[in-house]
Amino acid sequence: MKKFYLILTCAALCACGGGNKQQAVQSDGSFTIDNSNVITCDFDQVGEERTIPLSEWVDDFQIVRFEDNDDAIFKMSWPHITENYIGIRQSGGAFKLFDRQGKYLGNIGNVGGGPGEYKSLYSEAIDEKKGWIYLAPFAWSDHLLKYDLRGNYLGEVEVGENLNKPKIQLLPDGNLALVHMYFHDNKSTMMAATISPDGKVTKCPDIPKNLHITFRNPQFGGFNHEVWHYGCTDEMKFAYTISDTLYAYDHKTNHLKADFVMKNYRKSDDIYCIYFPLPNKYVTWVKGKGNIVTDLKTQQSYFFKLKNDFVGGLPINTQNSNGYIWAMYEPLQLMERIEKRLEESDCTDADKKVLKELYDSLDEDDNNIMFIGKLKNENHTIHTNHKNKTKIIDNEKQKEINSPTNERPKLSASSSTNNTHKTVPDTIKIYEESEVKRAFLPLSNSQLVEFLTKNFKYPSIPPINGKGKVDLVIERDGRVSDVIIVQSIHPEIDKEFVRILKLLPKFTPGSINGISVRSKYRLPTTSVCK
């Protein structure tokens, strides 16, 4: 029997920093917090509309062009974004998996009634560490479906009762949180639950007394209502269409609690709220009224519009997924939006240059295009007059376009010893190890070897012994975005190293003057076959 051994060595550096001082703020009257820490926004007190540059909220902005072969083409639907993958849940179609560069990796399951198949889906979760994908059928199912990242069916995760419009979220500790349309048939015994990696289900006993839903047509599973959930925090936060309250499910204590309330918006079947809990703020979309941000730092609430200052000032919706803001376009749709923006009076020459360059790169017969911005953790204050370079990822080729502003971002860094403004290094450049405070992987050598040995799939080639070197590209958020072969062992072995190393957990990123930057991290690799 052939055995394959992987040997990797790495050095580790630790870093620590001081905390930021809180400044006293004055509420504008729209913002209150009760004794249970429930935040309430008074719709009647919300301020006038402001325009917010997208760069205030996100960094690491990308334009992803999805591969456009026949198998990769998909209908516009909801994406699930993780560090290394984009999953596409289609209405009535198969769940498609892409990498973050838009390369098509395959279907996960298929539409049908057999094992590992589904008729329609309502939510999903990707566990990169374990290499699993969970899919939740739309309704009338008592289980979740489980697959590996190659689309192989791993079986069902039994829940013990029928689920209606279930939403699932992968939690930081590897458990799944689940909520569903509890009030559908009055037969459910749970509204929320935690599911462990080994399939153990812990049902939450709480049913909020102030929450009750009356369905216009219960026969059809409450299809007139939805469960809204976007996975933007470590806790699972969700709302029902007809409710004015965003709830949080704390899986550690196994309890539900009210988290955020929008009052006085005069809810009805036709006017309702959708909530997006983001870092240090809550975004609320009120149907027919607009978007509201409730800022926890300033304790103010106001209507707003997002302006994509990375791409010529295009308007952008506040769609969210797992800590990312995104927008999806069909090529022709994006071309039409660019044309409209070019005609607006505030479209500058610099804006026009960026927009025309993007427009000329589009083909209406291509697959869909996606804007993705990683939400900032907001531990620091970012100044927004900047000159960014926007990554346009087109499968295996990349190009950069300049954003239409005058200088790079500046960051206000605070510590126990000083409070000086520091200029952020180039946010696009990939620095060499020697130029930065080295990135740090929070795994010991033995843990790293265990991880790789467990996940590495030796290719269908004769046994090969050899040594190589790779450079990992570590992003500012700590994820591995690319693996560069410096010294090859064998093309097929190299290919597998690239795949598996992209699944590593987040590093502590490299830094310059305490500011995170993109950097390389070199690892030697050795294959030993016996």
Write the CA distances from 374 to 59, 278, 324, 389, 449, integer angstroms. Answer: 5, 11, 5, 15, 30
Residue whose C-alpha is closest to residue 527's, from 10, 2, 148: 2
> What does the pLDDT read at residue 24?
44
- Other CB atoms closer than 10 Å to residue 24's CB: what's the count? 4
Region 238-252 average pLDDT: 90
**Is residue 304 a contact partner of residue 292, using CB atoms and an 8 Å limit?**
yes
Question: What is the percent of the chain where pLDDT is above 90?
Answer: 51
Region 152-181 average pLDDT: 94
Using 50, 70 and 90 to split pLDDT, how confident is the model at 343? Answer: very high
Instruction: Determine the 3-state secondary structure of 378 from DSSP.
Output: coil
Check whether 302 has a pLDDT greater than 80.
yes
Region 492-518 average pLDDT: 87
- Other CB atoms closer than 10 Å to residue 346's CB: what's the count? 9
Residue whose C-alpha is closest to residue 488's, from 477, 478, 496, 480: 496
Per residue in 309-331, pLDDT (tens digit) is 999 999 988 789 999 999 999 99
Per residue in 376-394, pLDDT (tens digit) is 875 433 233 333 444 444 4
**Is residue 344 a contact partner of residue 355, using CB atoms and an 8 Å limit?**
no
How high does pLDDT run on average in the chain? 82
Residue with tokens 């500011």: 515
Using 50, 70 and 90 to split pLDDT, how confident is the model at 219? Answer: very low
Between 191 and 60, residue with greater pLDDT = 191
Specify which residues 249 forms β-bridges with: 236, 256
- Other CB atoms closer than 10 Å to residue 338's CB: what's the count? 22
Per residue in 444-459, pLDDT (tens digit) is 777 788 888 888 888 8
181-185, 377-381, 418-422: range with highest mean pLDDT: 181-185
> What does the pLDDT read at residue 445?
73
Check whether 20 has a pLDDT greater than 50.
no
> What does the pLDDT read at residue 458?
86
Between 52 and 186, residue with greater pLDDT = 52
> What does the pLDDT read at residue 31?
81
Using 50, 70 and 90 to split pLDDT, how confident is the model at 222? Answer: very low
> What does the pLDDT read at residue 186?
64
Using 50, 70 and 90 to split pLDDT, how confident is the model at 216? Answer: low
Between 515 and 260, residue with greater pLDDT = 260
> What does the pLDDT read at residue 442?
76
Q: Where are the alpha helices (DSSP H) in 142-233?
A: none
Ordered structural domains, the chain, with CATH: 4-13+431-529 (3.30.1150), 31-342 (2.120.10.30)
Region 198-213 average pLDDT: 84
Using 50, 70 and 90 to split pLDDT, how confident is the model at 224? Answer: low
The CB-based long-range contact list for 233-236 (8 Å cut-off, 24+ gap) reads 233/277, 234/171, 234/172, 236/167, 236/169, 236/171, 236/177, 236/179, 236/192
Check whether 407 has a pLDDT greater than 50.
no
> What does the pLDDT read at residue 223?
54
7-11, 67-71, 162-166, 332-336: least confident range: 7-11
